[in-house]
A and B are shown apart, each in its own frame.
Chain A
Amino acid sequence: MDLAVIWFIAISVLWIGYFVLEGFDFGVGTLLPFMGKRDSVDRRVTINSIGPVWDANEVWLLTAGGAMFAAFPAWYASLFSGFYIPLFLILIALILRGVAFEYRGKRDDSTWRLWWDRAIFFGSAAPALLWGVAFANIVQGVAMDSDHIVTASLVDLLNPYALLGGLTTLSLFTLHGAVFLSLKTDGPVRVRARTAALRTAYVAVPAGAAFLTWTQLAHGKAWTWPLVLIAAATLVGGVAAVRARREGLAFGLMVATIVSAVVTLFGSLFPNVLPSITDPAFSLTVENASSADYTLTVMTWVAVVFLPLVLVYQGWSYWVFRKRVTGATITGETVTGDTAGAETSARGDIVIPEVTTAEGTTGTRRAATEDTVDT
């Protein structure tokens, strides 16, 4: 097979990895305000469910971006400059979200946490929406001149098909995140996540069905039909599994939905990488956008050797953190005894012995010296 085609497939695999993994991160972040009261242990449980893995999940994006740059420079150049404002907003969102995860617990102050919670919500929901808008536009094509310079304005990018795509990814990732939370946590968060999954399904199922049908009818190939059907079946099956409290199965089916949906999008796009609606002759294709064979060969070797290695250690990290996260795991696992130092609060994210008084509310014992920290 042609190396450029192999790299088209490789890049779709990287995007699949990104959407499957960061998809549930986005969902978890979007659901954060609904998983517990302000400043509650439940919110911490929610965040800690993705705590050890979100950063590595995000690297799939960097790898996909880097691979596009290396394998299809013209695609990378036209797409990133042409979709400037959506990508800029995604960047801002990812910046705020990443910092929020790390900084949220570093002050013992409920206003501080509330603001970071907002950053996590915006930083998760906005990219979840915008990636759908971007990919719908990629599949549909944009106004692009003969030099492959995108001439579409922001308003052009916000067309009905693209907005439907955005609604689809937002709702699908939220559902995916809810299923993940119900699988990865226990206690009140698990219960709420299940409810959230069932409610989100009322949007995700019709939006996903409409978007994929539109995609198939307007841009699809004969061989993408089965994928659309698989996506639909696994989505409905996933919701049914949530209802039946089969959380592992539900998560597996959600993964299958996202994989088949993304394959449908890339399949519909092929052999173009960015179609021009100004004139089909101006389209960027796998052939005219790709790097020379030497680069693609080098990159193939690198990917063949290192991608499996990455999958092994990333998989291992999921295995290490396979246990369900509960209020007790994040607050009580570390028994620091009664040593006074442990309770003074420079940490915020270091374990604070907590007494759960009611669902979602906690009393925190504070040492007398606490206030010296923030002054």
Chain B
Amino acid sequence: MEALELARWQFGVTTIYHFLFVPLTIGLSFIVAVLQTVWYRTGRHEYLQATQFFGKLFLINFAMGVVTGIVQEFQFGMNWSEYSRFVGDVFGAPLAMEALLAFFLESTFIGLWIFGWHRLPRGVHLACIWMVAIGTNLSAYFILAANAWMRRPVGFEVNPENGRAELTDIWAVLGNDQAWSTYLHTVSAAFITAGLFVVCVSAYKLWRNQKHNDTGVRGEAPPARDFALFRGTLKVGLVFTLMAGVIVVFSGDHQAKLAAQYEPMKLAAAEALWETEEGAAFSAFAVGDTEARYNPIDITVPNILSFLATGEFDGEVHGMNNLQEAYEEEYGEGDYIPNVFVTYWSFRLMMGLGLAGVGIAAIGLWLTRGRDRTPSVDGPLTRWFYPLAMFALPAALAANIFGWVLTEMGRQPWTVHGYLLTAASVSPGVSLGTVAMSLSLFTLIYGVLAVVEVGLLVKYVKAGPSHLVPDLEEDGDESQIPHFSY
């Protein structure tokens, strides 16, 4: 065991954990902004309730995203000092811009939004949540541009005197096709996740209400208004998910083509394709032998991989064995093949779970067609849909994670493709024991916080919106807006 391995584990654990919260922040900020806009424009009370209810859930999630994000920025220097030394000139710039342009925006306006319900005019207050949404989406661009640069390094030169990568063209880094393609794919996936979060919560509430109605024994009946509200938000979530689903498919297709171009080894590993082929088949299920470098079992769909990678059914797709040879020639001896098992299966799980989530949204949209505003208690939504909708959220969260596992494991052994190996990136002065200590404490604290966070989410979901914003009485006063404070 070396410090390198644990440093990689730590990066994996902390980044995956961070990315459970980030997609929800990106998507929910936008959805809450939309809900509040509807309330602002129509004055309909249930949209105020929906804004406050999902706003509260958003904030519970937001806090976790913020605090786990600080770790990310420090970690490059702490565990990956040689990487930082090599790339700081190029990679540091988008990170600094992210903080200056996006984090300040996000954090200042979230404060104004949380505490400003009564201090700001309604229009200005609404603008605050939009600024938060813009800030989070902007921050995603900068960090993904930095990440894309590692996979397709552009706009720099290696200075022969000091051996460091030096920036020559910032627009090449920010305009990297890998950057905007990754951005579209990641952010639309984030919108799917947030959309399905709303779907999951709404479905749960409707399901409980329906169940309650069926048995009608325990406690008071839930407020009838909740039905209308969650019918509405269910629809909002479904529409968001499906729209983002379209973008995720197209950008995903583009990602595959970029991988074929810039990271052929990743694509080959993701498909367990050992030999270069024209008219390559898409593998549906394979059992590989990574020692002998072939697949004893491989169930395939002919020509599809070539089409995905090149846009032509008989296009050429490089195989791992051929790429390995080519890389050894170019970069010297070494193992340039990533972990095929992990890359292959994370690709399938990402696609499968992601598409399952979008598919569930499509089914939901079909089931709720034309009935979005029906406040009726015994609504016609089919009962089996609710549990299915609740499964969609974990599926989407897992799809995000497998997407990153594919991206990051699939580009091994490189940190900067073609320029810097992961093994050469780690901090030489940080001992195994130190990383072991930080890894175990991070894991422990993250684990505890996850339990606390989920507990709070469940509590607030169960309590429902009328506990945050009372239902409007017949002669109710519209200005009853409770404010958030600590």
Contact = CB atoms under 8 A, between A and B. Distances in A.
- Does more than half of chain B's interface fall in helix, strand or loop, or is it mixed? helix
Given A55-B111, A103-B456, A298-B167, A95 B70 contact: yes
Contacts of B428: 147, 149
Nearest to A78: B81
Contacts of A68: 92
Nearest to A329: B485
Interface string A241-282: 000000000000000000000000000000000000000000
B350 to A, nearest CB: 28
Interface stretch (A196-204, A336-344, A358-366): A336-344
B38 interface: no
B99 interface: yes
A302 B462 contact: no
B463 interface: yes
Contacts of A107: 456, 459
Interface stretch (A85-93, A169-177, A180-188, A207-215): A85-93
A307 B99 CA distance: 11
A78 B85 CA distance: 8
B95 A347 contact: no
A62 B99 contact: yes
Nearest to B112: A317
A333 interface: yes
A135 B59 CA distance: 34
Given A59-B107, A292-B159, A314-B104, A69 B463 contact: no
B324 interface: no
B273 to A, nearest CB: 37
Interface string B57-96: 0011011101110110110111101101111111111011
Interface in A54-84: 54-56, 58-59, 61-63, 65-74, 76-82, 84
A79 B81 CA distance: 9
* Residue of A81, A92, A98 ringed by the most chain B CB atoms within 10 A: A81
Contacts of A350: 468, 482-484
B300 interface: no
Interface in A296-355: 298-299, 302-303, 306-307, 310, 313-314, 317, 320-321, 330, 333-334, 336-337, 339-342, 344-347, 349-351
Given A62-B73, A102-B59, A320-B112, A334 B483 contact: yes
B470 A336 contact: yes
Given A76-B77, A81-B81, A298-B167, A347 B467 contact: yes
Given A66-B95, A342-B482, A52 B111 contact: yes
Contacts of B467: 341, 344-347, 373
B429 A53 contact: no
B486 A105 contact: yes
A148 B71 CA distance: 23
B115 interface: yes
A185 to B, nearest CB: 13
A356 B12 CA distance: 49
Interface in B182-223: 219-220
A223 interface: no
B430 A81 contact: yes
A135 to B, nearest CB: 16
A84 B78 contact: yes
B90 to A, nearest CB: 7
A44 B486 contact: yes
B115 A52 contact: yes
Contacts of B88: 69-70, 72-74, 76-77, 291
B385 interface: no
A302 B159 contact: no
Contact of A333 (B166, B468, B483): B483
Contact of B445 (A44, A52, A62, A96): A96
B480 interface: yes
B208 to A, nearest CB: 12
Interface string B433-451: 0100110010001000100
Contacts of B67: 94-95, 98-99
Contacts of A70: 88-89, 92-93, 95-96
Interface in B112-169: 112, 114-116, 118-120, 159, 164, 166-168
A106 B100 contact: no
A319 B308 CA distance: 55
B112 A102 contact: no
Given A74-B85, A95-B71, A291 B166 contact: yes
A369 B467 CA distance: 10
B177 interface: no
A121 interface: no
A52 B115 CA distance: 6
Nearest to A73: B88
B271 interface: no
Contact of A73 (B59, B87, B120): B87
A78 B427 CA distance: 9
B100 A306 contact: yes
A23 B407 CA distance: 39
A73 B89 contact: yes
5 contacts: A63-B96, A73-B84, A81-B427, A149-B81, A310-B108
Interface of A: 44, 47-48, 51-56, 58-59, 61-63, 65-74, 76-82, 84-85, 87-88, 91-92, 94-96, 98-99, 101-107, 147-151, 291-292, 294-295, 298-299, 302-303, 306-307, 310, 313-314, 317, 320-321, 330, 333-334, 336-337, 339-342, 344-347, 349-351, 369, 372-374
In the A-B complex, the 4 residue pairs with the smallest Cβ-Cβ separation, listed nearest first, are A73-B88, A80-B77, A346-B463, A70-B92
Interface of B: 56, 59-60, 62-64, 66-68, 70-71, 73-74, 76-79, 81-82, 84-93, 95-101, 103-105, 107-112, 114-116, 118-120, 159, 164, 166-168, 170, 219-220, 427-430, 434, 437-438, 441, 445, 449, 452, 456, 459-460, 462-464, 466-471, 473, 476-477, 480-486
Given A76-B84, A295-B90, A333-B483, 14 more contacts: A51-B111, A56-B104, A62-B99, A80-B81, A81-B78, A81-B427, A88-B438, A302-B97, A307-B100, A320-B119, A341-B469, A341-B471, A347-B482, A350-B468
